[in-house]
Amino acid sequence: MPLPPTPRPRTAQRAGRPHVLGRNPKRARQRPLTTLCVDIGGTGIKMIALNAQGDPMTERLRMLTPHPAKPEAVLDVVKRMLTAKPRFDRVSVGFPGVVIDGIVMTAVNLGTEYWKGYDLRTAMERLLGAPTRVINDADLQGHGVIEGRGVELVLTLGTGLGSALFVDGRLVPNLELGHQPFKKGKTYEQRVSDAALKRIGKRHWVRRVHEALAQISIVFNPRVIHLGGGNAQHLKRQLPPNARLFTNVEGMTGGLRLWTNP
């Protein structure tokens, strides 16, 4: 008499319905994993898909950050951006504020009153149907550009001033240097923000950035200063000897390192 077939073990069901572009477990085992990187900024939200080597698989997509930038509005923009991206297996998110264990603590340029205590990691996982990691946006970009040797400082010059500090490749998370007092009763961010650039002009703004870099260097003595963000381009002809520029795409490749070297 033949034995009855062995019943298959029951597998846990994911709560909710994953997004159509989210991971397919069977396919993920048959091909290298794809990482979707999302960079939420005060002015724009960027998205790019990375292959297993960290190379972009598509052009970087950018849409304006909604105002007011409430969580539901930001996630709605992310959802609309997905149609232009290939399938992905996991997600890395950079957020402009202090993030601890996927939960937002501050969001100065988006509205802390909207975001404080918001579980962004869980919200993104529910939206995208894929495992997600969330860190400060400058921390994420720094992972994409550092060399992994000595003290390296990453500064992003955009809507505000993002900052990340690495020591021998290890991150000191949530530095938020931009909100420290600097000069004339103003913070670093207030002195070199995009609003300041538009108000005082490029020449005076570049001088302010160099003053800030000189002061910061006295404190951290970085071997390399990595400068990124939309306004870093204005410094091309006047870089300190230990500074280098990086592009937004280079920075967003840091989303892969959150998974390969978490």
What pLDDT, in 10s, does the model give residues 207-225? Answer: 999 999 999 999 999 999 9
* pLDDT tier at 18, thresholds 50, 70, 90: very low
Cα torsion at 77, 95, 48, 170 (round to 10°)? -170
- CATH fold match for the domains 25-140 and 145-251: yes
Q: Does residue 19 carry a pLDDT above 80?
A: no
CATH of 25-140, one of 3.40.50.1950, 3.40.190.10, 3.30.420.40, 3.50.50.60: 3.30.420.40
Residue 199: φ, ψ to 5°: -80, -40
Superfamily covering domain 145-251: ATPase, nucleotide binding domain (3.30.420.40)
pLDDT band of 29, cuts 50, 70, 90: low
Q: Give the pLDDT confidence score for residue 24 in this predicted structure.
A: 52
- Residue 13, token pair as written in the block: 């069901």
Task: Output DSSP code: residue 166.
Answer: E
pLDDT tens digits for 125-180? 999 999 999 999 999 999 999 999 999 999 999 999 999 999 999 999 999 999 99
Percent of the chain scored above 90 by pLDDT? 82
Q: Name the residue ranges covered by the structural domains of the chain.
A: 25-140, 145-251
